Structure 1
Amino acid sequence: MRLTKYGHACVRIEDGDRVLVIDPGEFTEPAALAGATAVLATHGHADHLDLDQLRAARERDPGLTVHTLPELAAELGGGAIAVAPGETFTAAGFTVRAVGGEHAEIIDGLPGCPNLGFLVEGVYHPGDSLFVPAEPVETLLLPASGPWLKLREAIELVRTVRPARTFPIHDANLSEIGQENFDGWLSEESATAYARIPLGGSVEL
């Protein structure tokens, strides 16, 4: 199974003719969606879901499905499939489990919106949350930056989830120096095989 890192929170998972994309937002290269047969959207914020880019991909391939929160699925219309926390389903041939349900708080209850995490055959993408799933996680896609996130929280998430390997995502707001600082802390303190995937780069899982 191949994991490719695209802009910010977006990853592409491929295994043979199975192609799945998670959170293709406004910082995501259009190439991420080429040939994909399903999209998982953790929530509707623009850095996780670019509606114009998604619309163009669905025009190219009307069979492209989008699995997401019920409210967002209703907004997207045809081809969008509502999923709920705790639900297990199939997307692009992959077995997926939706977990969590709430966006991490910034302050005063904001943004106060739902958020799904997705477990895709051992790969966990939490979206904008620090939710710890009950299921074992082999590969954690770790948020590295955001107004709702502290470095300590990122390290504690890894320590609690205890994945075999961890790759950072949600990092468009970090400068090169910020990325190096984050990577240094996680490499030293997270007790996992930690590595950064370059933009457009891939790893075999």
Structure 2
Amino acid sequence: MKITRRIHSCVEISDGDTTVVLDPGGFGTPDNLAEVDAVLITHIHPDHVDADALTAARATNPELRIYGPEGLRELIDADYNVVADGDTFSLGSLNVEVRETPHEKIINSKELPENLGYLFNDTVLHPGDSMAAIPDMEVVLVPISGPWLRMLMVDEYLAAHRPKRFIGVHDGVDNDNGLTLRGGLLRQLAKDHGVEYLPLKPGESVEV
């Protein structure tokens, strides 16, 4: 599998002739959104789903498959595949398992949507806005910034679950100073816990 970082939590995963995009959100969507085989949405916060861009992509490519939680109906005027915890489906050579875990709390008064994680070929996990736990994963796309997150959460997550490798996502709110500071801390955490940090910038890729 090839993993390409896009913007914020948006990630492209390809295997053979199959390409999927996860969480193309309001901070910026990939130029090839209408050309991929499928789009997967973890939850309906606007930084994870750009409803206008997704609707336009489906209009351009009626064969584009969309997967997401029930609440996505509130945002897009297009048919899509509603998925929930425990569901499995295949996209070409990609086998996908849906894992629901609660969205991390932001503030006490803010209601939170259903949050779905997606596990690809038992190898790569995108947890949405959750520090979802599957011990000893090959690669986890770990949230590293946001209004609900402290770096201590990343520290504790790596200590408890020890993925072999991790890629930081959900950093679209950081400026250059924050990205530099956070990158240094992530490299230190990787050293502390004996895991590999893959510091992908938007547009960069890695094969796993």
What TM-score, normalized by structure 2, do the two folds share? 0.90
Residue 97 of structure 2 is aligned to residue 110 of structure 1? no
- Indicate the larger mover: 64-73 or 6-15: 64-73
Secondary structure at the aligned position of 1:31 is classed as: coil
Q: What residue in structure 1 maps to residue 29 of structure 2?
A: 29
Sort the Cα spacing of 1:168 and 1:32 in 2 relative to 1 into closer, same or farther, 3 A: farther
Q: CA deviation at 1:51?
A: 0.7
| Uncovered stretches (5+) of structure 1, i.e. residues with no partner | none
Q: What residue in structure 1 maps to residue 156 of structure 2?
A: 156
Q: What residue in structure 1 maps to residue 177 of structure 2?
A: 177
Q: CA deviation at 1:133?
A: 3.1
Sort the Cα spacing of 1:67 and 1:17 in 2 relative to 1 into closer, same or farther, 3 A: same
Q: What residue in structure 1 maps to residue 130 of structure 2?
A: 129
Secondary structure at the aligned position of 1:102 is classed as: coil
Sort the Cα spacing of 1:160 and 1:73 in 2 relative to 1 into closer, same or farther, 3 A: farther
Q: What residue in structure 1 maps to residue 61 of structure 2?
A: 61
Q: How does 1:1-205 map to 2 (within 5 A)?
A: 1-73=1-73, 76=76, 78-108=78-108, 110-121=110-121, 122-133=123-134, 136-190=136-190, 191=193, 192-205=195-208
| Percentage identity across paired residues of the two chains | 37
Q: CA deviation at 1:194?
A: 0.4
Q: CA deviation at 1:32?
A: 4.5
Counterpart contact for 1:73–1:82, Cα < 8 Å:
no
Residues of 2 paired with 1:34 and 1:202: CA distance?
Answer: 20
What is the letter of the counterpart of residue 86 of structure 1? G
Secondary structure at the aligned position of 2:85 is classed as: coil
Secondary structure at the aligned position of 1:181 is classed as: helix
Q: CA deviation at 1:166?
A: 0.8
Cα root mean square deviation, aligned: 1.8
Counterpart contact for 2:137–2:163, Cα < 8 Å:
yes
Sort the Cα spacing of 1:111 and 1:146 in 2 relative to 1 into closer, same or farther, 3 A: farther
Regions of 4+ moved over 3 Å: 73-79
Residues of 2 paired with 1:97 and 1:197: CA distance?
Answer: 24
What is the letter of the counterpart of residue 195 of structure 1? L
What is the letter of the counterpart of residue 189 of structure 1? L
Q: CA deviation at 1:197?
A: 0.8
Secondary structure at the aligned position of 1:114 is classed as: coil
What is the letter of the counterpart of residue 128 of structure 2? G
Aligned pair count reads 204
